[in-house]
Structure 1
Amino acid sequence: MAADRQPPHHNTLTCYTDYRCRLPRCVDRYKTWCRDRDRAIAEGTWQPLLDAEPVRQHLLGLHAAGITIHRVATLTGLTYKSVRSFTQHDYGNAAPRRHRVTREVAAKILAINLDEHTPGHVTPIGSQRRFEALVAIGWPTIHTARRAGIHPSNRVTIFKAPTMRASTAQRIAAAYDEMRQQKPARHGVSATCIKRAKKQAAERRWAPPKYWDEVGAIDDPGFEPMYGITRREIVAQDANELMRISGLDRHAAAERLGVTKSYIDHAFREFPQYALEVAA
Structure 2
Amino acid sequence: MTAPALSTAVPVPAPAGAGTARPRPLPDHGTLSRHKYHGCKCPACVEHYLAYQRARHRKRGYGTWQPYVDAEPIRQHLLALNAAGLSYAVIAERIGRATATVTGFIYDASPRRPRKKRATPEIAAAILAVTAAEVMPGQVDSTGTGRRVQALAAIGWPMRTLGPHIGTHPACVGRLAGQRYVLRSTARMVADAYENLQHQRPEEHGVSLATAVKTRKWAARQGWPDPVWWDDMGRIDDPTFDPKSAERDLNRDQLAALRRTEIDHLRGFGLTDETIAVRLGLALSTVHAITVELRTGQRRDRAQTAKEAA
Which TM-score band applies after superposition, normalised by the shorter structure? 0.3 to 0.5
Q: TM-score, normalised by structure 2?
A: 0.35
Largest Rg, 1 or 2: 2
Q: Normalised by the size of structure 1, how large is the TM-score?
A: 0.38
| Greater length-normalized contact order (CA 8 Å, ≥ 6 residues apart) | 1
